[in-house]
């Protein structure tokens, strides 16, 4: 699942606020074409556009590779805006100027939108079919608008995400599951082996670090899968949701990969994971039933010696 593209569908009043942001921006730069974009996994989507210019080929909903966009010039770590007032004379753009000229883009202002977690959300940008002057006070006003927009984004994300790990929460899992009826998939129910000992011996601060590291590793796993996401239920329990079909052998390979990934620690403490797996077809039962079945399989994996996975189908037999 593309995030934050899918996530945005759940934000209350997003369209209204996005339009307000662009309305404020139009007061500052009335002659510019303005847009809000979201960025995820090297792709950029144009969420909202104001002051359309017919000779600039950009429309709402348009999605393109980030490396084909001027927004690729933004350093999202420093959060500094990019200002190009005269693109035809911007020698640093090299041969890229020709393509921009053909698209009638002759000036650009890009302001990064970065969450407090350091995660990139997207950009607020101004482009024009003419060379433009972007006064410093106007750039600063747009940055203030972005900060206000960020407050809203943060509040929405708290409703759908776990504060410690940044993974999605059970509420988001339920919403996604209900919104994707009629498709096969699988649920992996993970519980960390040895996590209690980490908390007891090294303290809860170290335990939190372990949970955050586990979350990062699970995020890397789901990024390699179609229609997948990682969820923290609470404590040291996690869910991996896969909204696509696969063979039994495919799920086994993936489970073995996850067990391996979560058992490798270059630290004094050691944790691993046990996984309960339930698969379903397009005529799937309720999420709560699937979670209960995955939990039964997880208990069987724990009972078998931990650091292992077990399928619910095998448990039933």
Instruction: For 267-281, write each residue's pLDDT tens digit.
Output: 888 899 999 999 998
Is the same domain home to 194 and 279? Answer: yes
Would you call 242 helix, strand, or coil by DSSP?
strand
- For the cut 80, the answer to whether the pLDDT of residue 1 exceeds it is no
- pLDDT of 272 reads 95
How deeply is 39 buried, as exposed, middle or buried, from its count of CB atoms within 10 A (0-12, 13-18, 19+)?
A: buried
Is the same domain home to 218 and 148? Answer: no
Instruction: Decide if 236 is catalytic.
Output: yes
Is the same domain home to 229 and 249? Answer: yes
Which residue segment(s) compose the domain that 244 sits in? Answer: 170-316
Q: In this structure, are residues 195 and 209 in contact, taking their beta carbons and an 8 Å threshold?
A: no
- For the cut 60, the answer to whether the pLDDT of residue 266 exceeds it is yes
Number of domains in the chain: 2
- Listed in sequence order, the residues at least 6 apart from 148 whose beta carbon sits closer than 8 Å to its beta carbon are 21
Catalytic choice (193, 236, 246, 266): 236
178 assigned to some structural domain: yes
- pLDDT of 66 reads 92
- Listed in sequence order, the residues at least 6 apart from 45 whose beta carbon sits closer than 8 Å to its beta carbon are 5, 37, 38, 39, 61, 62, 63
């Amino acid at each position: 699942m593309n995030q934050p593209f899918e996530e945005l569908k759940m934000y209350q009043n997003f369209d209204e606020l996005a339009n307000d942001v662009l309305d404020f921006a139009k007061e500052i730069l009335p002659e510019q074409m303005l847009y809000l974009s979201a960025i995820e996994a090297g792709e950029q989507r144009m969420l909202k556009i104001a002051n359309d210019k017919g000779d600039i080929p950009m429309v709402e909903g348009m999605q393109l590779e980030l490396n084909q966009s001027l927004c690729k010039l933004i350093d999202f770590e420093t959060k500094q805006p990019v200002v190009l007032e005269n693109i035809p004379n911007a020698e640093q753009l090299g041969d890229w100027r020709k393509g921009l000229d053909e698209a009638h883009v002759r000036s650009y202002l890009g302001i990064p939108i970065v969450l407090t977690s350091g995660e990139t959300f997207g950009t607020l940008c101004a482009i024009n079919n003419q060379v433009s002057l972007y006064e410093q006070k106007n750039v600063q006003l747009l940055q203030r608008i972005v900060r206000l927009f960020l407050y809203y984004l943060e509040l929405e994300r708290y409703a759908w995400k776990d504060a410690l790990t940044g993974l999605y929460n059970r509420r988001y899992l339920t919403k996604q599951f209900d919104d994707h009826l009629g498709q096969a998939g699988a649920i992996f129910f993970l519980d960390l082996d040895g996590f209690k000992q980490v908390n007891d011996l090294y303290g809860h601060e170290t335990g939190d670090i372990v949970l955050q590291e586990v979350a990062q590793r699970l995020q890397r796993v789901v990024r390699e899968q179609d229609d997948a996401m990682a969820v923290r239920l609470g404590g040291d329990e996690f869910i991996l949701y896969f909204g696509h079909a696969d063979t039994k052998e495919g799920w086994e390979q993936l489970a073995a990969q996850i067990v391996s990934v979560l058992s490798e620690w270059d630290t004094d403490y050691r944790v691993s994971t046990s996984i309960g797996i339930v698969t379903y077809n397009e005529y799937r039962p309720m999420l709560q039933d699937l979670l209960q079945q995955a939990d039964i399989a997880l208990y069987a994996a724990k009972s078998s010696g931990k650091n292992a996975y077990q399928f619910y189908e095998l448990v039933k037999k």
